[in-house]
């Protein structure tokens, strides 16, 4: 096939295409991309066949909020190797695209994290799509496990630093009531995707943030002003604004299933997507890690700090997909898109990632009948 490598055919699978599931469809991968979708009996003779034995083949999961994995926490180790450890740990659970997430920290730590992310992408570390800076421009009243001593309002120099990643996506979570509207506009103008989160803002303050360029909400319902009858708060603004995205942690702990169903009913299809907010114990044997000098341990799969605040999660993306099916009664097709197609669209990668279609990046995950991961491919590998 000229200078190109021989195509690989993933065959004998049920494949989630943009039009829905198709049985006995083969996915041809070549040079890191999906070359074609053909019937199993129409696979080119020169292609190398990989029999999936009836597995379900989905677009690879994309997780926009990953604090750690494989025993590594990004805040504690802002290195390329830590990023590699984190993304490798999550790949076992179907995540083929990840935003390593740094929670509120000093400017020097943020700068190192951005530099490491830039270098990881330059080195081609599989699965690194950019960075998520969750804070430090957030509200003390809704700090969760973040260290309020790190909170501040960014000046122009820090805005430039926080939005300086030039070879990947930057997602920035802030409290709109804590940051001037002009600063939010500057962040968006520099290419950042800005979300509201860890916010005590009133409905009016959140609406002002949306007008300034806030386009979504980080872990909807958690660490934000709630929806009430006379004060809609951040949750009310999130559910009302059709154009805004909402990330959700579907672990049965962070949000009640009924509240998640309300969000899915209120939002246009495609605007609610899955995140894990994962901590280092995902893909590791040790249930404990250190954050801001405090040891935090997952008990029965629930991660809390000493004060009792939820401190991220022990969730992986494959479990989040299963939970959508089992807790929310969603079809697997929709749960899978919440983990792949919708986050790709959110990150501006909807023409290259998150779908099984010709021309797309060959990022894929195969699940067995119990929705357990049996294989992942990143760039066809």
370 is catalytic: no
Residue 327, token pair as written in the block? 């807790």
Catalytic residue among 63, 147, 277, 316: 277
Residues serving a catalytic function are 277
């Amino acid at each position: 096939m000229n200078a190109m490598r021989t195509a690989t055919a993933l065959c004998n699978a049920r494949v989630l295409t943009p039009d829905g599931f198709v049985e006995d469809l083969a996915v041809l991968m070549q040079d890191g991309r999906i070359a074609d979708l053909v019937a199993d009996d129409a696979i080119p003779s020169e292609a190398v066949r990989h029999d999936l034995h009836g597995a379900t083949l989905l677009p690879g999961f994309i997780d926009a909020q990953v604090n750690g994995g494989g025993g590594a926490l990004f805040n504690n180790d802002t290195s390329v190797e830590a990023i590699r450890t984190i993304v490798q740990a999550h790949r076992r659970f179907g995540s083929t695209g990840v935003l390593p997430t740094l929670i509120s920290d000093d400017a020097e730590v943020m700068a190192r994290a951005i530099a490491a992310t830039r270098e990881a992408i330059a080195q081609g570390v599989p699965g690194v799509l950019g960075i998520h800076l969750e804070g430090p421009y957030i509200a003390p009243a809704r700090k969760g496990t973040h260290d309020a001593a790190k909170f501040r309002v960014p000046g122009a120099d820090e805005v430039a630093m926080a939005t300086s990643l030039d070879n990947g996506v930057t997602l920035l979570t802030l409290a709109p009531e804590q940051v001037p509207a002009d600063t939010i506009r500057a962040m968006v103008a520099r290419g950042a995707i800005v979300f509201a989160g860890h916010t005590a803002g009133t409905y009016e303050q959140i609406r002002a943030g949306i007008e300034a360029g806030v386009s979504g909400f980080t872990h909807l319902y958690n660490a934000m002003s709630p929806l009430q009858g006379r004060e809609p708060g951040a949750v009310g603004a999130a559910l009302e604004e059709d154009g805004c995205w909402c990330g959700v942690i579907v672990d049965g702990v962070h949000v009640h299933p009924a509240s998640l169903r309300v969000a899915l009913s209120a939002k246009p299809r495609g605007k609610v997507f899955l995140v894990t907010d994962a901590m280092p114990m995902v893909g590791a044997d040790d249930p404990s890690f250190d954050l801001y000098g405090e040891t935090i341990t997952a008990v029965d799969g629930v991660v809390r700090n000493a004060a009792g605040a939820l401190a991220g999660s022990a969730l992986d993306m494959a479990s989040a997909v299963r939970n959508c099916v089992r807790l929310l009664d969603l079809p697997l097709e929709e749960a899978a898109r919440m983990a792949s197609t919708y986050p790709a669209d959110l990150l501006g990668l909807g023409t290259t990632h998150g779908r099984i279609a010709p021309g797309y990046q060959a990022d894929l995950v195969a699940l067995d009948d119990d929705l357990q991961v049996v294989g992942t491919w990143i760039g066809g590998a």
